Structure 1
Amino acid sequence: MTTLRATVRLQLHAGFDFDAAAAQVDYFARLGISHLYLSPIASAVPGSTHGYDNVDPTRISPELGGEQGFHRLSDAARQHGMGILLDIVPNHMAVHPANPWWNDVLRNGRRSAHAGWFDIDWDAPECDGRLWLAVLDRPLAAALADGALHLDIGGEGPCLRHHDLALPLSPLSYPAQAESWPGWIARCQRSLQRMQDVLQRQAYRLGWWRTGADHTNYRRFFDIDGLVALRMELPEVFDAVHALPLRLVAEGHVDGLRVDHVDGLADPRGYLGRLRSGLDRAAIASGRPAEAITLHVEKILADDEALPADWACDGTTGYDFMDQVGALLHDSEAGPALHALWHSVSGDARSFDQHQQQARLQMLQGSLRCDFDRLLRLLDAQRRADPAAADITGGMLERALRVLLQHFPVYRTHGLRSAADRAWLARAADAAAAQLGEGDRAALEQLCVWLYGNPAVLTRFEQLTAPLNAKAVEDTAFYRYGRLLSRNEVGSDPGRLHLPLEEFLLRARQRAQQWPRALLAVATHDHKRGPDARCRLAAVSCNLTHWSARLAQWHELATQAGRPCPLPGAETLMLWQTLLASWPLQAERVDAGFIGRVDGWLQKALREAKQVSSWSDPDRALEQAASDWLAWLGSSPQAAPLRSALDAFVHAIAPHAARLGLVQLALQLCCPGVPDLYQGNEGWDTSLVDPDNRREVDYLQRRAWLGSPPDWQQALQEHWSGGSAKALLLATLLRHRAAVPSLFADGSLTLLSATAGAWVLSRQLGDHQLLLVLDTTARLETPLAPGTLLREEDSERARVGLPAGHWRSLLDARRCEGGDDIEADALLDGAPLAIWVLDNGENDGR
């Protein structure tokens, strides 16, 4: 049994399957990782690159290697003293022909044994008691007239085909005898009326894809028509979906679970209690103590929101830490100047909160309209049945609900059981009431009464607030408000630029007390940009005068070349930030591949913002103009001065950003909690939003870093841009965590000193103590030795107190004696950080 100490997240797919992961287990073991943290392994849509579109949760994906392939990976992990965590997807499944449960519903409708397993409103208006499938590439009448729908014989009988999509037919709609099927099909396809009759007899109603937002009558994952929500609150559904992971735990292959999108479930608290009980039984069946099996939840928390204390889990997957450590590294005084710059370039003076409120209203009128209407129908039934609501009209109720949702500040409440939950609802209700007239305020008051008194109403409300928050904030407002994109990250509030050190440490201590096994992430498969890309932009916050000047220079150079960026001001500023954040440090890598990556980000950004383009109505002319401009920037001789100017600023700021990146990594590995490494993050990660952040990892390079002689000063001086310094720091701290795990699991966290020159943090447990000395200065005026990450000696640097004892540097061979003040420079030796341990003569991983 391996204690959870440090994880690595691996994205599995056909191109990187169980055997490919098994081939890297020895490397991860040498690095100091305790657990592989795998993306979903259940059968997914053929060709899936992520596994969240699962079609059969009872079976391990054959594309990944099936049961035997997983056993080989598990055996490799055990042989190297490592464990395995699984990402599971209880909230939804793919709407796909490979999904047997869904196909049974399509074939048999309400008579299906699985009809109640999916969250379907069979009686929704305009659906004729059928399942609305918005899958056609044109209106239904046109699809029939154009022959875009035709009948065929599939593996289980006659089916309906639309391009590559095959839908089963109700057995009641075609002849029972197989030999008569060909003739029946021929007759139907000769007659439009016969085809219409066949369609009318199905359990589903086909619709143009543009009808989905208004008519889809099954709950989805967010607004994705291709993912249907499961009713996990039903015992039979829970048992079916969790049979595989619980079996793998009982067989000793799996040591923990990560629950995807726990906010989508009707009752997360009840669900986690049931799952925890199942894990405890499975653990005991495997010969392990119940507490050995960990359980983490993907939960995005607001800035001042806490994970419910009564959840039977080990904490979150680390978005909260990613937000906090990122904010810590931004300049505390940069906010007003950054906003002024954003306002001048974009012409938009609105705050982020105003942007996200507007986005919420648009989503409720747009892709989440069907979910909003579904809740309204439930509320209207309450209104008609409740004498107290006799003078509340449907219109009043609709306006009150819309404005309450506009101001709802968190993903969801959780049964309104806690004071914190009730405070979130009260805060939203107060903001909504200030915006409503007297009649609508009365409707709002009645709505809140129902939320407190009717569990069905509250559940539907909570299952709408979660996707609304995700789609309006992360997938819309994040792409509209671009003051500084490093703060537009999953789990972060772009309106908050900085987190003071004292508050960061307070939250770290709270985590140690309440959720000591919570994961600490700085990168995930869902991040908007990699941790080192964010650090480049954090360095911008410390150098606003330079940033403003460079923006003006780049615009002028593009204009002089006759190719100003064709995008509006806001989008152009966000593009400049993205180029700066991801620009390769090796000139030869500013190639078509890099430009293509930025182009992919740009198309997604423009469409997610839904202002100058969108997924449903893309402005292809504008998108092409922007794409052409990027291609020009990357390769045209006329763009050479602009490329050189961009490159010069990147090379000026990148060393300072890299120093911040090393500080960020050190905090991730030294703070209370369990560090979660994302695949490939051993080196600099300047990736962009998915799919860019899921690219193939160069493990040969990472193995070479691990095999290099551990020389910290050399790594900071020679070829630091390749990533060896980060890899060395990571390996050193992971080894130390492995050598003295109790220090990191149970040791206290103390701030010994904080000056303008350095912060000194201590982790201590008994005779074991570690000092983390950090220099977070990232100003271009602060001199670095040419071509290195080393800071030149500064006689003005502060002195810090070093506790009594014999101290040894983990990163090099230096030693010193404590008991007195010592210059920060002496501890740091020019580096952005130093790690000193109390030398008690024990083997501590060096």
Structure 2
Amino acid sequence: MTGTATERTGEAVRDPEPGAPSHRAAPVSTYRLQLGPDLTFDAAARQVPYLARLGVTHLYLSPVLQAAPGSTHGYDVVDHSRISAEMGGRAGLDRLAAAARDAGLGIVLDVVPNHMAVPTPAWHNRALWSVLADGPESPYASWFDVDWSAGEGALLMPVLGVRLGDALAAGDLVLDEIVVPDAPDDGTVDPRSDVAADDAPGGTRTTVLRYFEHVFPVREGTQDLPLAELVERQHYRLAFWRVGDEELNYRRFFDVGSLVAVRVEDEAVFDATHALLLELVTSGVVDGLRIDHPDGLADPGQYLDRLAERTDGAWVVVEKILAGDEQVPPDWATVGTTGYDVAWRLQQLFVDPGGRAGLDAVMTRLTGDLAGGLEGVVEQAKHEVVAGPLYAEVHRLTDLAAAVCHDDPRLRDHTWRALHQCLRELLVAFDRYRAYVEPGVTPRHEAVRAVEEAAARARARLDPQRGDTLDVVVDLVLGREVGSAGRRREARRDELVVRFQQVCGAVTAKGVEDTAFYRWTELSSLCEVGGEPDRFSLGVHDWHAFAQRFSALTPLALTAGSTHDTKRGEDTRAALGVLAEDATGWSRLVEEVRSASAPYRGVLVDGLAENLLWQTVAGTWLPDARAATDRTDAADRPAGSGDEHRVIAADRLVDYLRKALREAKVRTSWTSPDEAYERAVEDLARRALEDPAVLTAFARWSHDHREELRAASLGIKLAQLTAPGVADVYQGSEGYSPTLVDPDNRRPVDVRDLDQRLARLDEGSGARTLADEKLLVTSRALRLRRDLPEAFVGPGAGYSPVATSTPCALAFARTLDGTPRAVTVATRLQGTVRRLGGWRDHVVALPAATGGWRDVLTDRVHPAGPVLVAELLADLPVALLVEAGGA
């Protein structure tokens, strides 16, 4: 194994030896920047002074390699040898790195090892262009996971809007000539064009096959053939786009045909695709790496080992979704995950379990009874996925299993159909992204248990006569000897082990997060990436147990509130969580707005769309701007006054609903949109946001529950920033910012406003709004981490629960060698506190400390020992305490 034992098990990284690379030091906190055309390297560099004052220690950059034309996110890489020209190229990245270093900040970089773009035009991806031109003889053929034995030896390109015969008959396929630049474009080629500029340094005039904006190379020697024959003779097969879900012969990212998988398990491919990234680390430009979707790789463990070896053990986190109590495999060379496991637990820690029945009743009233609950919704969605968008992947997996059985006389009677049914049900029954089984390596107990438990669930859904075939499938995917003696390590069997893992992850992602989680609207904020909505709520003791385990196993992993992938920002989720604190009141509100909107609610609008609509309005409603500074007046003012109508922009709401409903795939979808249904939902949303009765109802809800929202938003944020792990702040989330799924969460952030508000707070001005209060909490927590890193990420850092007399107060200490150095106190379930008449005589038992404890948020000093919660939280629903004579 490469890397030290401490790096692999996630223990704190040692302080660097004298002269050792600076990247050996782990971040204390990170700030995620979504780079792109609207946020270039130079624009990001201008934010550095503000971010340094905010208190972060590292910038966390979205992917920076050259992406496809028009990319807004960078995950569609086309060239691993270049830094994005649109963002400013290598010179721009170096300027950003220098600005960060001058401010004392490091850089963490997002890496996309699993896939590349199939861009339009295709020549932007030169490796893929070469494969399209030369097929298996291309020097890049080993880069892509193509089954050349399928599709008559041609790479399927399902890009046509009609069937091939119709495209030929209509004359939509034509020969053309373009100039393809000889060298990677460096600004002399318009990335949106398929021709070189007049002053380009050079280019090759190339005959291409054109289909509107798509261009493809023409195989040598076929230029003069009749068009239909020319099309037939290429190393690629042009096809109707729907064919891709049934006959695709290359591995892709989930069901996204425009993202082709890359075989980084091949060391030569790893070297070629990672040379620039590794140089950025070894030269000190970049300090750490975030690995996108490692579960898509053939061998994540091998990949991480190789990365650790080439970077001398740099800090590396993985975007790994953990199901339930699943842990990162202990032999992976990573400090842990990007923090979805922390995010959902913190969200549910602030959700009242007593509200579930009422919210479930609202969902059932609107949508009807969902048979089998969430488990039944997930099962149905996964069945649809394996029969629909991922059918090609399951078909290819079945072909492989059938070939293995055909080659072995003892297995030959297991038919293709039987194998397909067993594989399909096993994939549906899997409760996690994958089990980590490596060909030739005895699988870990956890992996065997995951496969066998899935098999038990699959068996219950299969005809009993399929039992023997299922047993064979289980043995094959676990790499066991099955069939004839000694038949274990064969190429096809090894490939089946690997490919099953990769398909399993795709089925889980598409079936659960991208389908079922959009159908289940009991409390939509819980249906989050990596979430566990069936847990609904988490108790204080469960949180403490998780945090202590996290501190012991992965103390340098990221903790997240919002990410670029979350379906709702942390403040949207916090506001939605408030629904559970007054489920009866929410039920009345829903009936009120349904009654008000009945005259214009079209008959096509279903309960799924309605429940999403009303919850989304509640989750994104901005609280009264004066609530933080004038609470007595705010309580006395009548709900529905003009300044309280702070509702989400209609376009943002409509865009979200369209995406959510297409992902749910109940009445409409991306591939088969129902325009009439979507127009009916849009009309309802737009008219509701203009309806005084609806607006007044939501304004009243916001006004009446402002303290619950305040407590949840600030409490979740403070707990996330002071919990074990490396705290990550998503851009803009340091202020109150209710956002929705991408691209809504990638909207530009008003950094100038944040900077000015932070300056006012630093000068001693009081917080004027909830946004100010959240900025205060975030900046003070980040600065405390920066000033006391040894208590948060050092080798002696620890976590200790602090006793309280009420479950409505969360309290814990961050310790150094067992001694408390900082204490977090947060209000949870503020609605319960209010119903019980306040904190009354409840106390928090603050640890012993010379001189007592000072709240860095209010500057108040409190004695050690039992302290009344009402006194401790007199100004804010949260407190962040340090020794009065200390920091």
Is TM (by shorter chain) over 0.5? yes
| 1:147 matched to 2:171 | yes
Greater relative contact order: 1 or 2 (C-alpha under 8 angstroms, separation 6 or more)? Answer: 2
Identify the range of structure 1 (360-369 vs 504-513) with the bigger mean alpha-carbon deviation.
504-513
Name the CA shift for 1:588/1:134 in 2 (closer, same or farther; >3 Å).
farther
Q: Please, which of 695, 698, 703 is the counterpart of residue 643 of structure 1?
A: 695
Give distance in 2, aligned partners of 1:547 and 1:279.
Answer: 53
Q: How does 1:729-808 map to 2 (within 5 A)?
A: 729-745=777-793, 746-754=796-804, 755-765=806-816, 769-779=821-831, 782=834, 794=838, 796-805=840-849, 806=851, 807-808=853-854
Q: Please, which of 664, 669, 674 is the counterpart of residue 619 of structure 1?
A: 674
Partner of 1:37: 60
Partner of 2:417: 395
Other structure's SS at 2:862 match = strand
Partner of 1:258: 290
Partner of 1:813: 859
Q: Is the 8 A contact 1:758 1:798 kept in 2?
A: no
Please list every run of 5 or more consecutive structure 2 residues that lacks an aligned counterpart in the other structure: 1-21, 180-203, 480-492, 625-641
Q: Is the 8 A contact 1:793 1:825 kept in 2?
A: no
Other structure's SS at 2:127 match = helix
Q: Structure 2 counterpart of 1:196, which letter?
A: A
Deviation at 1:651, TM superposition (A): 2.8
Deviation at 1:712, TM superposition (A): 9.0
Q: Structure 1 counterpart of 2:448, which letter?
A: R
Q: Please, which of 704, 710, 723 is the counterpart of residue 652 of structure 1?
A: 704
Q: Is the 8 A contact 1:364 1:402 kept in 2?
A: yes
Deviation at 1:633, TM superposition (A): 2.1
Q: Deviations over 1:92-121 (max 9, x none)?
A: 000122000000001111111111210001
Identify the range of structure 1 (197-206 vs 99-108) with the bigger mean alpha-carbon deviation.
197-206
Deviation at 1:263, TM superposition (A): 0.3
Q: Is the 8 A contact 2:355 2:579 kept in 1?
A: no
Q: Structure 2 counterpart of 1:165, which letter?
A: H
Q: Please, which of 427, 431, 434 is the counterpart of residue 409 of structure 1?
A: 431
Q: Structure 2 counterpart of 1:512, which letter?
A: S
Q: Structure 2 counterpart of 1:116, which letter?
A: S
Q: Structure 2 counterpart of 1:412, which letter?
A: R
Q: Please, which of 597, 606, 625 is the counterpart of residue 568 of structure 1?
A: 606
Partner of 1:63: 86
Partner of 2:160: 136
Partner of 2:125: 99
Q: Deviations over 1:607-664 (max 9, x none)?
A: 11111101111100111121122222233xxx21122112221232243112111111
Give distance in 2, aligned partners of 1:219 and 1:584.
Answer: 43
TM-score by length of 2: 0.87
Partner of 1:26: 49
| 1:581 matched to 2:619 | yes
| 1:826 matched to 2:861 | no
| 1:484 matched to 2:539 | no
Partner of 2:509: 470
Q: Structure 2 counterpart of 1:110, which letter?
A: P
Other structure's SS at 1:770 match = strand
| 1:161 matched to 2:216 | no
Give distance in 1, aligned partners of 2:839 and 2:84.
Answer: 61
Q: Deviations over 1:63-88 (max 9, x none)?
A: 11001011100100110111111111
Partner of 2:13: none
Q: Is the 8 A contact 2:799 2:814 kept in 1?
A: yes
Deviation at 1:713, TM superposition (A): 9.8
Q: How does 1:326-337 map to 2 (within 5 A)?
A: 326-337=347-358
Name the CA shift for 1:822/1:694 in 2 (closer, same or farther; >3 Å).
same
| 1:108 matched to 2:108 | no
Partner of 1:693: 745
Partner of 2:717: 665
Q: Is the 8 A contact 1:705 1:728 kept in 2?
A: no
Q: How does 1:574-613 map to 2 (within 5 A)?
A: 574-585=612-623, 594-613=649-668
Please list every run of 5 or more consecutive structure 1 residues that lacks an aligned counterpart in the other structure: 175-183, 189-193, 281-289, 784-791
| 1:525 matched to 2:551 | no
Other structure's SS at 1:21 match = helix
Give distance in 1, aligned partners of 2:874 and 2:622.
Answer: 28
Identify the range of structure 1 (337-346 vs 669-678) with the bigger mean alpha-carbon deviation.
337-346
Identify the range of structure 1 (517-526 vs 798-807) with the bigger mean alpha-carbon deviation.
798-807
Deviation at 1:735, TM superposition (A): 1.1
Other structure's SS at 1:23 match = helix
Deviation at 1:768, TM superposition (A): 5.3
Identify the range of structure 1 (329-338 vs 195-204) with the bigger mean alpha-carbon deviation.
329-338
Q: Structure 2 counterpart of 1:827, which letter?
A: L
Other structure's SS at 1:774 match = strand
Other structure's SS at 2:735 match = coil
Partner of 2:455: 429
Deviation at 1:507, TM superposition (A): 1.6
Partner of 1:296: 317
Other structure's SS at 1:460 match = helix
Q: Please, which of 247, 257, 262 is the counterpart of residue 215 of structure 1?
A: 247
| 1:633 matched to 2:688 | yes
Give distance in 1, aligned partners of 2:80 and 2:774.
Answer: 38
Q: How does 1:170-569 map to 2 (within 5 A)?
A: 170-174=219-223, 194-280=226-312, 290=313, 293-350=314-371, 351-415=373-437, 417-453=443-479, 454-559=493-598, 561-563=599-601, 566-569=604-607
Partner of 2:194: none
Deviation at 1:544, TM superposition (A): 0.7
Partner of 1:179: none
Q: Deviations over 1:128-163 (max 9, x none)?
A: 211111001111111111121111101241001111
Give distance in 2, aligned partners of 1:584 and 1:814.
Answer: 29
Other structure's SS at 2:740 match = coil
Q: Is the 8 A contact 1:565 1:572 kept in 2?
A: no
Name the CA shift for 1:713/1:829 in 2 (closer, same or farther; >3 Å).
farther
Partner of 2:776: 728
